[in-house]
Chain A
């Protein structure tokens, strides 16, 4: 055949005889993984048709590829490539349901935790749809207590959309078949509200009969799917059922709550949102899957008119005294928050800083990023700062405490307060500005000088700048005191220490980088551009690729107090971070 040595895409698809030969030689699974070195979908489709034909006429038995583990033995991505090819053929194959289910289960098991592992289930559903008799046989076997069939009955019910059979099975049994039937009910389309009501009634019956966490979670998932497909079915009964399902659920139910938040985003009423979030407050932070779903759910709430509920929930969740969740775990929520209206972000900043809960403030400090590492400016409105002078000062100290390493952010908050506060408060804010921000960061001065002349805070900021100038000039007038300067020897030690730290800072993330494990690393000794040669997937010939190189660097300002009095600085920041707002 010469398939291995020819460049891909340069030859035609194998004939049926050649496919048979490959099967006989035990090479068919491998060739499937390599897609027969073909790129043309039509050619591949022809092979699939040919394979199905060969199987169905008895020339070869494709299921043996699985039964002999030839498929499962393929390594890594080869297995998934071959499985994907095989699943396209699978609905066309003639086989007994029992044999087919065994093969499907073997493939799913081999797929493991991978997202593509469930692909064979979909193929099985299509296989059942292809011939409803196949589905009925599976359902019958399930009724007869066959365990393999029970595990696959959801696909069979879904394939023939037998909603009545599914309800019956859900009510009748109290084992895997019930869960499978409930799953199927979620997937089968209700034709009218009455059908939906009947399903919900079945769920109510099950709930009344005493439902454990898993059952509740399954029913909640099914309701989610029903309501997602048909938002008009969200009747008061459906909402009430959701509340009842959620009420006494455990971790599985909580997970489904988080799923429902985003899956049914178009249909969620404030009432349901409240109920779901009330339950979600009890989530176990160790269940990272739930946290991820919740993150998407919260993002969805922000985007679909439930922002107050979402923000209040996050506030409450992160404020839990023994909570181990970090704000950064909700990265989708954060991204939406940061990309959303500045007014909303400002409101959150004020709310969280005034609450002073370390988890929230720390989270804020970590998410407020900017390219230049000085933090983004936050403009707080007069409405947002309509708080007592004590609270305004408290807010300023919190901003310094938590955003000290993001001086632009901290400064912008103090300037916002200067715009609206009374004269007495302004003096104290100016002192904070001078003592903590202007003293520590040269960039703050530039930021403040750039304020437009019509800014309401301009005159107060100018006064602060003047205070700073007086001090700055006094300091600048001091000549360097040679006697106090470290010796050459000490400077050398510091340089070595610094280079060690920088090397570690460079190597540590590099060693942990997923990207670095999958890309080739090249070190160029000379030049600012390079030409490299990569094999063309079509011609298999080396092709020159030119790359222009650019410098990539990071710089950051070290606060002056970190050099003058690091222990004192830590003490001040600690106090600012942890002080409580007294009424």
Chain B
């Protein structure tokens, strides 16, 4: 286990990656963290400041953090080098920045880095420490091995992470190249940590921190083997598990809630790091190549290509929505940066659609979630220039739907079982057709959006299609119900309210009005804890993760024309 953690520490690529776990690690070891790292800024050489016991004496620990091994370049020669930081700490921080109440404490300056001190720097470092050590100021070297030991003694100590859970975690890391297996092991770990975490507020915070650090370790390992699938899926699971841990104490003003809120943001941040690393490094560079991503899926089966493409689109949508959410929490300057990044993501998604025509028709109804997530990204991007392209995509989807249903080939099935989809369509019999198209969330979704985009011809076409071919099909959408708050995050998908028999037959405006009316009178979505606390993308994560449709409450109001006549709305 120690080797696993040491290797993880050595593989960290950014200083910020080590920053992200150190405060939690220190807290678990009994330190009181008084200053956390802030992205892009350093406080006179100090990344983290904490008060802790050293040989039964309270001391102030000032951390200067470096990634990987400490080599000559990292030690000296640049303003960011460790020596400069140590000088700054002594010359500026200790003189000016230490709070009054801590000034009496002895100071330990900690040189924290993920790897080791390289030979050519060893003498220089030893010399520097000998020269600058005083009665008041001492130096400690926290290399990868030391940090790994501390993690094992602290946040992942056997008492709080028993052998069987360690084993699950180790297997999750070892099988990171087999994402399904890795996910299963991690899911067991998350489940157990959730159980343990529910026992007390302290345990709750610890469980969240453990999930965070375990995800970090897994992510770094996965990054090394060039397969981010497991960490992406697990990051959703961790996010939902953390929310489930946090949910019961929402509204209770406690120290733990504040710490948990901080931990939640760390998990969201990590989820975004993983998602953006994957999307920006592995998808976006190739989205402009015709069929590029489709061919990179490297499968001989169209089902795999279709599933992977829509999954990708859903991830792009969700990541973009998170960026939008992050922008709402940020200052003006960051908002602009985030918006640019979000637009880049959205445009790349459009390129992906343009160059990978498999994205014009899903093979299973559940992919409506991915479509809705990408449309949600379009909504939050407020990119009206893209209106024609989005419209064209949805129109093509409607025509593809009609063509495939009439020919009874490649049409979306309401089954989501891979084996059933592999055989789909098994035959062209009426019986099989009716079974495979017994229900649809896709058609109301597309019809509603097309109506909102003014494409009445296509809406009419879908209406005729339903009349002629899909009389047996229950057109529906899904929205949470009262049970959803307890089930939604880690409980699975057996909850919520199906909005059935949506009146496409009465025309697009009536469809929109009916959905809007149903959403306005429904309070379940609005009462979900992420909605009440403003962290609403958590619901989208839950929907994506548990293969639930995106509730229309997220998009319907944006589709209703502001000039909707009272007559249209009155019948709801």
Identify the A interface with B (CB < 8 A). Answer: 439, 471, 474-475, 478-490, 493-494, 497, 558, 560, 562-568, 570-571, 574
Q: Name B404's contact: one of A439, A490, A567 (CB within 8 Å).
A: A567
- A388 to B409 Cα, complex, angstroms: 36
Q: Which residue of the partner chain, among A478, A479, A489, contacts B180 with CB atoms under 8 Å?
A: A489
Chain A interface: which of B7-15, B83-91, B299-307, B327-335?
A: B299-307
Q: Could you tell me if B293 and A483 are in contact, using CB atoms closer than 8 angstroms?
A: no
Contact of B289 among A478, A482, A487, A497 (CB under 8 A): A478
If the complex has contacts A493-B418, A564-B356, are A485 and B298 also in contact, measured as CB distance less than 8 A? Answer: yes
Q: Can you list 12 residue pairs at the A/B interface with Cβ under 8 Å?
A: A471-B289, A471-B290, A482-B226, A487-B179, A490-B304, A494-B300, A564-B302, A565-B305, A566-B302, A567-B409, A567-B410, A568-B400
Pair B286/A497 contact, Cβ less than 8 Å: no
> Which residue on chain A has the smallest CB distance to residue B225?
A482
Given A563-B302, A564-B357, A568-B357; A481-B423 close (CB under 8 Å): no
Q: Does B531 contact A (CB under 8 A)?
A: no
How far apart sit A135 and B17, CA to CA, in the bound complex (Å)?
114
Residue pair B228, A483 in contact (C-beta under 8 Å): yes
Does B374 lie at the interface of the complex (its beta carbon under 8 Å from any beta carbon of A)? no
State A242–B296 Cα separation when bound (angstroms): 69
B291 pairs with A564, CB closer than 8 A: yes
**Complex contact A563–B289 (CB within 8 A):** no
| Nearest neighbor of B363 in chain A, beta-carbon distance | A567
B297 at the interface (CB under 8 A from A): yes
Q: Which residue of A lies closest to B294 (CB)?
A: A564
Is the C-beta of B312 less than 8 angstroms from some C-beta in chain A? Answer: yes
Question: Which residues, 297 to 321 on B, are CB-close (under 8 Å) to A?
Answer: 297-305, 307-308, 312
Whole-angstrom CA separation of A480 from B295 in the bound complex: 8
A497 touches B291 (CB 8 A): no
Whole-angstrom distance between the alpha carbons of A562 and B357 in the complex? 12
* B419 within 8 A of partner (CB): yes
Counting CB contacts under 8 A, is B292 at the interface? yes
CB distance from A567 to the nearest CB of B (A): 4
CB distance from A371 to the nearest CB of B (A): 24
B389 at the interface (CB under 8 A from A): no
Verify A564–B358 contact, CB threshold 8 A: yes
A490 CB, nearest partner CB in chain B, Å: 6
Q: Least Cβ distance of B296 to chain A in Å?
A: 4
| Chain A proximity mask over B355-368: 1 for CB below 8 Å, otherwise 0 | 01110110000000
Contact partner, B360, options A478, A485, A562, A565, Cβ 8 Å: A565
Smallest beta-carbon distance A464→chain B, Å: 15
Nearest-neighbour CB distance to chain A for B549, whole angstroms, equals 22
Contact of A485 among B294, B299, B399 (CB under 8 A): B299
Evaluate contact between A478 and B286: CB separation under 8 angstroms. Answer: yes
Closest A residue by C-beta to B179: A487
- Output the least CB separation between A256 and chain B (Å): 41
B403 at the A interface (CB under 8 A): yes
- Tell me if B219 is interfacial: C-beta within 8 Å of chain A: no
B302 touches A478 (CB 8 A): no
Closest CB in chain B relative to A3 CB, distance in Å = 58
B544: min CB distance to chain A, Å = 15
Q: Which residue of A481, A497, A563, A570 has the most chain B CB atoms within 10 A of its CB atom? A: A481
CB contact between A487 and one of B180, B283, B295, B410 (< 8 Å): that residue:
B180
The answer for the CA separation of A409 and B106 in the assembled complex, in Å, is: 87
Given contacts A478-B289, A483-B229, A485-B299, 19 further A-B contacts (CB under 8 A): A478-B293, A480-B296, A481-B282, A481-B296, A481-B298, A483-B228, A489-B180, A497-B422, A560-B291, A560-B295, A563-B301, A564-B305, A565-B294, A565-B305, A565-B356, A566-B409, A567-B360, A568-B361, A570-B403
B227 within 8 A of A: yes
A479 touching B423 by the CB < 8 A rule? no
Chain B residues positioned under 8 Å from A474 (CB to CB): 289, 292
Contact flags B210-248 to A (C-beta < 8 A → 1, else 0): 000000000000000011110010000000000000000
B123 on the A face (CB < 8 A) = no
Does B522 touch A at the CB level, under 8 Å? no
For the complex formed, measure the closest distance between the CB of A455 and the CB atoms of chain B, giving whole angstroms.
28
CB distance from A498 to the nearest CB of B (A): 9
Q: How many angstroms between the C-alpha atoms of A485 and B305 in the bound complex? A: 8
Shortest Cβ distance from residue B80 to the other chain A in the assembled complex, whole angstroms: 32
Once the chains bind, are A480 and B358 in contact (CB under 8 Å)? no
Assess whether B178 is interfacial by the CB under 8 Å rule: yes
**B278: nearest residue on chain A (CB-CB)?**
A483
Which among B302, B399, B423 is the interface contact of A562 at CB below 8 angstroms? B302
Interface of A is mostly: helix
A471 to B290 CA separation, bound complex (whole angstroms): 8
CA distance A488 to B175 in the complex (A): 12
CB distance from A452 to the nearest CB of B (A): 31
B229 A475 Cβ-Cβ under 8 A: no
Minimum C-beta distance from B394 to chain A (A): 15
Q: What residues of A have a CB within 8 angstroms of the CB of B403 in the complex?
A: 567, 570-571, 574
Task: Report how far A480 CA is from B307 CA in the complex, Å.
Answer: 16
Residues of B within 8 A of A566 (CB): 302, 409-410
A488 to chain B, nearest CB (A): 7
A233 to chain B, nearest CB (A): 57
**B405-440 vs A, Cβ < 8 Å mask (1 yes, 0 no):** 001011000000011001100000000000000000
Q: Are A478 and B295 in contact (CB under 8 A)?
A: yes
Q: Is B177 an interface residue (CB 8 A)?
A: yes
B354 to chain A, nearest CB (A): 12
Task: Assess whether A570 is in contact with B282, with CB atoms less than 8 Å apart.
Answer: no
Which of chain A's residues have a CB closer than 8 A to the CB of B228? 483
Asked if A493 and B419 sit within 8 Å, CB to CB, the answer is: yes
Nearest residue (CB) in A for B304 is A486
Asked whether B286 lies within 8 Å of A570 as measured between CB atoms, the reply is no
- B229 contacts across to A, CB distance below 8 A: 482-483
Say how far B399's CB is from chain A's closest CB, in angstroms. 8
Q: Is the CB of A494 within 8 A of B301?
A: yes
- Closest chain-B Cβ to A430's Cβ sits at a distance in Å of 15
Chain A's closest residue to B307 (CB) is A486
Residues of A within 8 A of B312 (CB): 484
Q: Are A563 and B292 in contact (CB under 8 A)?
A: no
With known contacts A490-B418, A494-B422, A564-B302, A484–B308 Cβ distance under 8 A = yes
Q: Quick one: closest A residue to B288, CB to CB? A: A474
Residue of A nearest to B298 (CB): A480
Residues on B with C-beta less than 8 A from A483 are 179, 227-229, 232, 278, 282
Minimum CB–CB distance for B314 against chain A, Å? 13
Closest 4 CB pairs of A and B: A567-B410, A483-B229, A486-B304, A482-B227
**Hey, which chain B residues are within 8 Å of A564, CB to CB?**
291, 294-295, 302, 305, 356-358
Q: A478-B296, A485-B298 are in contact. Are A567 and B361 (CB under 8 A)?
A: yes
Structural contact, A570 and B296, CB atoms closer than 8 A: no
Do B400 and A439 touch (CB < 8 A)? no
In the complex, A5 Cα to B295 Cα: how many Å?
72
Q: How far is the CA of A478 from the CA of B282 in the complex (A)?
A: 9
Q: Which residues of B contact A489 (CB under 8 A)?
A: 180, 418
Q: Is the CB of A570 within 8 A of B289?
A: no
Chain B hits for A558, CB < 8 A:
300
Contact B404 A479 (CB under 8 A): no
Chain B residues in 8 Å Cβ range of A482: 177, 226-227, 229
- Is there contact, CB below 8 Å, between A563 and B283? no
Task: Name the distance in Å between A421's Cβ and chain B's nearest Cβ.
Answer: 25
Contacts of A565 in B (CB 8 A): 294, 302, 305, 356-358, 360
CA gap between A479 and B177 in the complex, in Å: 16
User: A562 contacts which chain B residues (CB < 8 A)?
Assistant: 302
Inter-subunit contact A481/B297 (CB<8 Å): yes
**Contact, CB under 8 Å: A486 / B289:** no
Bound together, the chains give a CA A550 to CA B297 distance in angstroms of 37
Find chain B residues with CB under 8 A from A485 CB.
297-299, 304, 308
**Distance in Å: Cβ of A556 to nearest Cβ of chain B:** 13
